Structure 1
Amino acid sequence: MTTAEPIWIYDTTLRDGAQREGLSLSLEDKLRIAHQLDQMGIPFIEGGWPGANPKDVQFFWQIKEEPLSQAEIVAFCSTRRPGRTAAEDPMLQPILSAGTRWVTVFGKSWDLHVVEGLKTTLDENLEMIRDTLSYFRSQGRRVIYDAEHWFDGYRQNPDYALETLGAAIAGGAEWLVLCDTNGGTLPQDVATITRAVSKYIVNHLASHPLDPDRPAPQIGIHTHNDSGTAVANALAAVGEGARMVQGTINGYGERCGNANLCTLIPNLQLKLGYACVREEQLAKLTDTSRLISEIVNLAPDDHAPFVGLSAFAHKGGIHVSAVERNPLTYEHIRPEQVGNRRRIVISDQAGLSNVLAKARSFGIELEKDDPTCRHILQHLKTLENEGYQFEAAEASFELLMREALGQRQRFFELQGFQARCDMAPEMNDGNSYALATIKVRIDGKDYLEAAEGNGPVSALDAALRKALVNVYPAIAQFHLTDYKVRILDGGAGTSAKTRVLVESSNGHQRWTTVGVSTNIIEASYQAVVEGLEYGLLLQNQAEAVLST
Structure 2
Amino acid sequence: MRTQPAGAPLLDSFHIYDTTLRDGAQQEGISYSVTEKLAVARLLDSLGVGFIEGGWPGALPRDTEFFRRAAAGELTLRHAALAAFGSTRKAGTRADRDPQVRALLDSEAPVVTLVAKADRRHIERALRTDPAENRAMIADTVRLLVAEGRRVFLDAEHFFDGYQHDPDTALGVLDAAAEAGADVLVLCDTNGGNLPLRLAETVETVRARTGLRLGIHCQDDTGCAVANTVAAVAAGVTHVQCTANGYGERAGNADLFAVIGNLVTKLDLPVLPEGRLGALVGAAEAIAALADIADDPHQPYVGASAFTHKAGLHASGVKADPELYNHIDPLVVGNGMRVLVTEMAGRASLELKGAELGLDLRADPDALTRSIARVKELEAAGWSFEAADASLELLLRAELAVGTPRERPADFRPVWHRVVSEHRADGTVVSEATVGLRVGTERAEATASGEGPVRALEAALRRALAPQLPWLDTWTLSSYQIRVLDEGSRARVLAVSHDGEREWTTVGANASVIEAAVLALADAVAFQATRLARGG
Shift of 1:24: 2.8
Specify the alignment match of 2:245 in structure 1. Answer: 250
User: Is residue 410 from structure 1 mapped to residue 410 from structure 2 by the alignment?
Assistant: yes
- Equivalent position to 1:363, from 358, 361, 378: 358
Match of 2:55 in 1: 48
Question: After superposition, what is the alpha-carbon deviation per residue over 1:426-472, rounded to whole angstroms, capped at 9, x for unaligned?
Answer: x33x553333445667786957352331x222333345456667876
Tell me: CA distance 1:527–1:265, structure 2 relative to 1, closer, same or farther (3 Å).
same
Q: CA offset at residue 380 of structure 1?
A: 0.7
Q: 1:56 and 1:411 mapped to 2: Cα distance?
A: 59
SS at match of 2:482: strand
- C-alpha change, 1:353 and 1:184, in structure 2 (3 Å) is same
Distance of 1:62 and 1:505 partners within structure 2:
38
**Does residue 510 of structure 2 align to residue 513 of structure 1?**
no
Question: Map of 1:131-530 to 2, 5 A cutoff?
Answer: 131-202=140-211, 218-278=213-273, 280-367=275-362, 370-406=365-401, 409-410=409-410, 413-414=413-414, 416-423=416-423, 427-428=425-426, 431-438=428-435, 446=444, 448-453=446-451, 455-465=452-462, 478-480=475-477, 482-490=479-487, 493=488, 496-530=489-523
Number of residues paired by the alignment? Answer: 518
Residues 399-408 or 140-149, more deviating: 399-408
- Measured in 2, the distance between the counterparts of 1:51 and 1:471 equals 64
Q: Once the 2 structures are TM-superposed, how far is the Cα of residue 516 of structure 1 from its aligned partner?
A: 0.8
Contact persistence 1:279–1:337 (CA under 8 A): no
Cα distance between partner residues in 2 of 1:539 and 1:26: 41
> What is residue 212 of structure 1 aligned with on the other side?
none
For residues 396 and 354 of structure 2, the distance between their equivalents in structure 1, rounded to whole angstroms, comes to 8
Does the 8 A contact of 2:436 with 2:443 survive in 1?
Answer: no
1:9 to 6, 16, 34: 16
**Structure 1 residues 480 and 394: alpha-carbon distance in aligned structure 2, compared to 1, 3 A threshold:** same
For 2:98 and 2:466, the matched residues in 1 are separated by 64
Question: Do the aligned partners of residues 489 and 513 (structure 1) sit closer, same or farther apart at CA in structure 2, a change above 3 Å counting?
Answer: same
Instruction: Output the CA distance in 1 between the equivalents of 2:341 and 2:390.
Output: 11
Q: Is the 8 A contact 1:475 1:536 kept in 2?
A: no
Stretch deviating more after TM superposition (133-142 or 249-258): 133-142
Question: Residue 275 of structure 2: SS of its match in structure 1?
Answer: helix
Q: Could you tell me the percent identity over the aligned residues?
A: 41
**Counterpart of 1:460 in structure 2: which amino acid?**
L
Superposed CA RMSD: 2.6
- How far apart are 1:390 and its partner, in Å? 0.9
Q: Write the letter of the residue equivalent to 1:456.
A: P
Question: Offset at 1:153?
Answer: 0.8
* 476 and 193 in structure 1: CA distance in 2 versus 1, 3 angstrom threshold: farther
In the superposition, the TM-score normalised over structure 1's length comes to 0.87
Of 31, 34, 39, 2:38 maps to 31
1:477 shift after superposition: 5.3
Deviation at 1:175, TM superposition (A): 1.1
Q: Distance in 2 between matches of 1:538 and 1:99?
A: 55
What amino acid sits opposite 1:432 in the alignment? V
**Is the deviation greater in 469-478 or in 326-335?**
469-478
SS in 2 for 1:487: strand
Structure 2 residue 26 is matched with structure 1 residue 19: yes
SS in 2 for 1:61: helix
Would the alpha carbon gap of residues 89 and 439 (structure 1) be closer, same or farther in structure 2, given more than 3 Å must change?
farther
Cα gap change, 1:92 to 1:5, in 2 (>3 Å): closer
After TM superposition, give the deviation of residue 488 of structure 1 in Å: 1.5
Between 23-32 and 231-240, the greater mean CA deviation after superposition: 23-32
Deviation larger for 239-248 or 406-415? 406-415
- What residue is the counterpart of 2:7 in the other structure? none
Runs of at least 5 residues in structure 2 that lack an aligned partner in the other structure: 1-10
Residues 258, 73 of structure 1: alpha-carbon distance in 2 compared, 3 angstrom cutoff: same
Instruction: For residue 540 of structure 1, report the CA deviation from its aligned partner.
Output: 5.4
> What is the identity, as a one-letter code, of the residue corresponding to 1:422?
E
Closer, same or farther: CA 105–504 of 1 in aligned 2, 3 Å: farther
Stretch of structure 1 that moved more, 227-236 or 131-140: 131-140
User: Are the aligned partners of 1:477 and 1:507 in contact in 2 as well (CA < 8 Å)?
Assistant: yes
Letter of the 2:454 counterpart:
V
Which amino acid counterpart does residue 448 of structure 2 have in structure 1? A
C-alpha contact (below 8 Å) 2:432/2:447 kept by paired residues: no
